[in-house]
């Protein structure tokens, strides 16, 4: 029951902050957090349903996932012309399939309300999973609140991104693995990968750990196969419906640290415009958060090279080091893409309860407060 209370506190806290921001500028219409920008052409239902549009803005990714939710199975292709990268966006179909199940094809009006509700539910389950995990380690359930400050949540909730659902499912998968409940873990990871493909690092880290320990090999195979099959089938359908599976890659691999150095170089040349200065500061904080979290992850790996959470942190570190500018083009992008690193550090911190393990999480928390606190100014 304590974990449920913690989850409800997190949900109501996010709901209060977001409603306050929406109330200031758009009379409390929470659909403003789809961040529909007027620089993109958008379908007629946006105007018909009076969904708030942000003027002189490209908006954010949530607007595209709203459009996808109105036609998730590409039965009409009506939304394709309005999406910046259709195959790339459609690949992350998890939230839209839930909307289809909830709304039963009733259209965009239902989708625009169902997506926020589903994400708040996902937030609650994620915090519940983190709190329950903390309790299994003998910690207070209230440590689970720290999970709600991780990048996928703190950045995803004010933008209605599928990252919230994906990371919540991964948190539940980690909980089930700790309880040796492999079938529920496989189901959580499978739908997480269908929601955001980068979460495949979770079952991959678990597989690497199982191979090193030479235990639970059959269960590990089930988890890994189950995690990738739904996405593979969905991408085959995308190829049949769209002719391609992706127009762009989420990460562009390059020389080690090249993406980070590019961010640092750009930060030094963006001091002439206030908006760019704010972005440069955010990018700088994201680099510091990444480096400190990586140090914690590498330290944990050196202490136990067979621990799947430490391996997950190492995978996140490798992704950040090798990923090019595509990942590091903004603090929002880098922290979301590397979220597996911060989730791993969070889990490690719960285990060890050392102050040094919480330092990167505190930095990330500060970083993630920026989009939450500035939401009220960006939704005008």
Q: What are the tens digits of pLDDT across the range 190-201?
A: 999 999 999 999
Place of tokens 């589903």: 118
Token pair of 62, please?
């949530």
3-class secondary structure, 41: coil
Q: 83 lies in which domain range?
A: 2-378
pLDDT for residue 369: 58
Other CB atoms closer than 10 Å to residue 322's CB: what's the count? 17
* CA 220 from centroid of its chain's CA atoms: 24
User: CA separation (Å) from 184 to 44, 66, 174, 177, 179?
Assistant: 41, 28, 10, 9, 10
Other CB atoms closer than 10 Å to residue 97's CB: what's the count? 18
Place of tokens 């990714």: 61
Kindly give the interhelix angle for 163-178 and 339-352, rounded to the nearest 10 degrees.
40
Count of structural domains within the chain: 1
Token pair of 152, please?
């996928």
pLDDT for residue 376: 42
| Ranges under pLDDT 70 in the chain | 105, 244-251, 267-279, 353-380
Q: What is the Cα–Cα distance from 216 to 185, expressed in whole angstroms?
A: 13
Question: Quick one: three-class SS letters along 84-119?
Answer: CCHHHHHCCCHHHHHHHHHHCCCCHHHHHHHHHHHH
- Would you say the pTM of this structure is higher than 0.85? yes
Q: What is the Cα–Cα distance from 292 to 72, expressed in whole angstroms?
A: 39
Other CB atoms closer than 10 Å to residue 296's CB: what's the count? 25
pLDDT for residue 68: 95
pLDDT for residue 377: 46
Beta carbons within 8 Å of 138's beta carbon, 6+ residues apart: none
Give which of 234, 230, 246 is closest to 74, Cα–Cα. 234
Q: Identify whether the C-beta of residue 33 lies closer than 8 Å to the C-beta of residue 160.
A: yes
Element (H, E) at 157: none
């Amino acid at each position: 029951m304590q974990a449920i209370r913690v989850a409800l506190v997190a949900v109501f806290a996010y709901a209060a902050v977001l409603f306050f921001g929406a109330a200031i500028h758009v009379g409390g219409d929470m659909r403003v957090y789809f961040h529909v920008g007027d620089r993109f052409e958008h379908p007629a239902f946006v105007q018909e349903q009076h969904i708030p549009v942000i003027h002189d803005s490209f908006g954010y990714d949530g607007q595209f996932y709203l459009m996808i939710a109105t036609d998730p199975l590409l039965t009409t292709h009506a939304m394709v012309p309005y999406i910046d990268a259709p195959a790339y966006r459609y690949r992350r179909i998890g939230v839209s399939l839930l909307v289809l199940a909830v709304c039963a094809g009733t259209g965009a009006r239902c989708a625009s309300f169902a997506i926020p509700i589903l994400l708040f539910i996902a937030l609650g389950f994620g915090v519940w999973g983190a709190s329950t995990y903390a309790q299994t380690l003998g910690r207070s359930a209230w440590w689970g609140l720290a999970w709600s400050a991780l990048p996928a949540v703190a950045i995803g909730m004010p933008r209605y991104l599928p990252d919230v659902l994906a990371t919540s499912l991964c948190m539940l998968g980690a909980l089930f693995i700790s309880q040796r409940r492999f079938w529920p873990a496989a189901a959580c990871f499978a739908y997480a990968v269908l929601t955001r493909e980068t979460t495949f690092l979770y079952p991959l880290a678990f597989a690497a750990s199982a191979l090193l320990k030479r235990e639970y090999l059959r269960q590990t195979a089930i988890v890994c196969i189950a995690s990738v099959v739904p996405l593979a089938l969905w991408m085959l359908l995308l190829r049949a419906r769209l002719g391609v599976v992706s127009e762009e890659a989420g990460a562009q691999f390059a020389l080690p640290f090249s993406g980070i150095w590019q961010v640092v170089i750009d930060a030094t040349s963006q001091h002439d415009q206030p908006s760019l200065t704010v972005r440069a500061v955010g990018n700088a904080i994201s680099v510091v958060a990444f480096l400190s979290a990586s140090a914690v992850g590498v330290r944990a790996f050196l202490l136990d090279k067979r621990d799947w959470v430490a391996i997950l942190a190492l995978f996140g570190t490798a992704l950040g080091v090798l990923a090019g500018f595509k990942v590091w083009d903004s603090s929002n992008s880098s922290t979301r893409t590397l979220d597996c690193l911060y989730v791993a550090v969070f889990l490690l911190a719960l285990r060890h309860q050392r102050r040094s393990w919480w330092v990167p999480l505190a930095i990330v928390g500060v970083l993630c407060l920026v989009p939450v606190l500035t939401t009220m100014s960006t939704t005008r």
